Amino acid sequence: MKLSHYNEAGEASMVDVGGKPETRRTARAQAFVKMSREVLAALPKNPKGDPLAVAKVAGILAAKKTAELIPMCHSLPLSHVDVETTVEAEGIRVVATAATDARTGVEMEALTAATIAALTIYDMTKALDKRIEIQDIWLIEKTGGKSGAFRR
């Protein structure tokens, strides 16, 4: 298997996607913020505001800035980004969705959105417990492009 972000000399290189057709591409990624029941119970009383609402906005903004954060990512015209949070017994599940009509996929945008949303939840709740963990960051699914659909 050949990695696409290296040239023949073995140096890091941005992939030329100019010859690829524009197609509809989507991706969903997740992260899990593990925290105690006490921290979960305190979410509605957070003096900084609603951590889940702020995390949603932070994740959307992060997806839009992915190419500025990940060196070999292409800047993409995102047609949709969403971040959903679900409170579970052991923490908060973050699921980010990204979509575009472009020449390359949006996996990194979805992963970045989920990760930054999780970090935002941590930032807004860390005063209550420093043992909060961010876990299980991964791509759930992607569609479009030459490699086709993927589902974890």
pLDDT surpassing 80 at residue 8: no
Q: Which domain holds residue 114?
A: 23-151
How much is the pLDDT for 7? 67
Catalytic-role residue among 16, 50, 101, 123: 123
Helix (H) or strand (E) holding 28: strand 23-34
The whole-chain average pLDDT of the chain stands at: 92
User: pTM of the prediction?
Assistant: 0.91
Let me know if residue 141 belongs to a domain: yes
The string of pLDDT tens digits covering residues 48-101 is 899 999 999 999 999 999 999 999 899 999 999 999 999 999 999 999 999 999
Let me know if residue 13 belongs to a domain: no
Query: Any catalytic annotation for residue 50?
Result: no
The string of pLDDT tens digits covering residues 99-126 is 999 999 899 999 999 999 999 999 999 9
Number of domains in the chain: 1
Let me know if residue 41 belongs to a domain: yes
Let me know if residue 42 belongs to a domain: yes
Write the burial class of residue 67 (CB in 10 Å: 0-12 exposed, 13-18 middle, 19+ buried).
Answer: middle
Let me know if residue 3 belongs to a domain: no
pLDDT surpassing 60 at residue 144: yes
The enclosing domain of 28 has a CATH number of 3.30.70.640
